[in-house]
Amino acid sequence: MEGCLSRGAQLSGGSLGSNYQFLGTGANGGYYFRLSGVKGSGNNQTAVGLFTDSLKIQENFRLSLDSAFKGSSYGNYFGLGSSSQDWSYRTKKPIYTGELLIKRLDTINQIASGTFWFDAVNANGQKVQIREGRFDVRYTR
C-alpha cells in the first residue's frame, strides 16, 4: 500500500512547533533542529516531523533525510491518538530518503524557513511519500 500527502496539505495551527538548540559538547550534546506540524484533533491526528541529531545548520544548507543516528537527519510521518491507533513511517536509507533545505536561518529573530520532501516506510513495509513541503517558522532555543 502506498500513500501520498496531497500538495498544499496544511499541517499548522497551535500544534506547529520548532526548536533549534545547542546541548553542549558531551556525548549527548550537539545542535538539534526539530520541526513538527499536526493536522486534526483528538484520536484523529496526522503529523509530519523533521529532525536533526548533532548537526549545526545554516542558510542554504541541504540535508539528506535518511536516518535517526548521531550526525544525521530524518523525516517522520505519524498518527497520534489512542495507543491502539498510533502508526509511524520513517525515512530509512538507502531507499526511503528525502531532503531538507534550510533556505533562511535568522538566529537573531529565531526564524527558519525552507523546503522538504521524503519517502518513508513503516514497520510492515508500507510506504508513504511526502512532497513539496515548506515551512516558515519561529523556533525556540
DSSP labels, 50-73? EEEES----TTEEEEE---STTEE
pLDDT of 131 higher than 70: yes
Q: How confident is the model at residue 6 (pLDDT cuts 50, 70, 90)?
A: very low
pLDDT of 47 higher than 70: yes
What pLDDT is stored for residue 3 in this prediction? 38
pLDDT of 4 higher than 70: no
Q: Which H or E run includes 33?
A: strand 31-41
Check: CB of residue 18 under 8 Å from CB of residue 138: yes
Range of the domain at 117: 2-138
Q: What is the overall mean pLDDT for the chain?
A: 84
Q: How many domains does the chain have?
A: 1
Which of these ranges, 45-54, 73-82, 104-113, has the smallest mean pLDDT? Answer: 73-82
